[in-house]
Amino acid sequence: MKAFTIDSERNITAYASQQEAAGAQGDTQTFATAAGLQGILKKLPAAAAVEIWNSMTGVTPVKKFKDGATAAKRIFAQLQKLGGSADDAKETAPAAESAKRAPKAKAKPEKATKTPKAAKKAKAPTPAGSGPRATSKTAQLIEMLKRPGGATLEEVMAKFGWQIHTTRAIMSAGGSLTKKHAITVISEKVGDSRTYRIAK
């Protein structure tokens, strides 16, 4: 039976079995049912469920849930889509299925002008997913994520002065890096630190 852990940073990790989940290191809580998740959410701030939901792959962001039971059921149902086999164990919710869901870049051709001379001088269409301005925060973030070891959550927060939920949202499969630039970000838990990097 598939099981999950949630750590102090509210990162949820999927495991192939309850035994594997129970062996997870660090400050984590284990659950295998929606009711179990609801019990954990009761101990967290009211906004925690919304933060967890909005950081997940392929979901429509919400501002609040009707109640704790609804939040737990919806989050748990989404978690069932995470890998649970031996090969997929330890897959985390924010990065799950990001490669599958990364949108394909689509070119937006410009309309041809009426005069032949103007048509020749017209700039080539810019495809969606093109790189940001070299001086922008997004460009700086991409450079950090391209480093051999990527960048930790704390490094990114310190560099740009972002809150933790903002940083996670940007890195998620539904975030701006994927939507605007067609970049897949890989999220990994190394010890007590979460690291993000761009797949090559």
Write out 106-162 in H/E/C secondary structure: CCCCCCCCCCHHHHHHCCCCCCCCCCCCCCCHHHHHHHHHCCCCCEEHHHHHHHHCC
3-state secondary structure of 14: strand
pLDDT score for 97 = 40
pLDDT score for 100 = 40
The H or E element containing residue 42 is helix 34-42
Residue 172 has pLDDT above 80, yes or no: no
User: What backbone torsions phi and psi does residue 65 show, to the nearest 5 degrees?
Assistant: -110, 155
pLDDT score for 159 = 83
Cα-trace Rg, the chain: 20
Model pLDDT for residues 59-100, shown as the tens digit of each residue: 889 999 989 899 999 989 988 876 543 333 344 444 444 434
pLDDT score for 95 = 42
Q: What CATH topology corresponds to 109-198?
A: Arc Repressor Mutant, subunit A (1.10.10)
Model pLDDT for residues 119-134, shown as the tens digit of each residue: 455 555 545 445 566 6
Per domain, the residue ranges of the chain are 3-92, 109-198
pLDDT score for 109 = 54
Is the pTM above the cut of 0.75? no
Work out the pLDDT band at 164, boundaries 50, 70, 90.
confident
In 139-160, which positions are buried (b, 16+ CB within 10 angstroms) versus exposed (e)? eebbebbeeeebbebebbbeee
Model pLDDT for residues 3-57, shown as the tens digit of each residue: 888 888 888 888 888 888 777 777 888 988 999 999 999 988 878 889 998 888 7
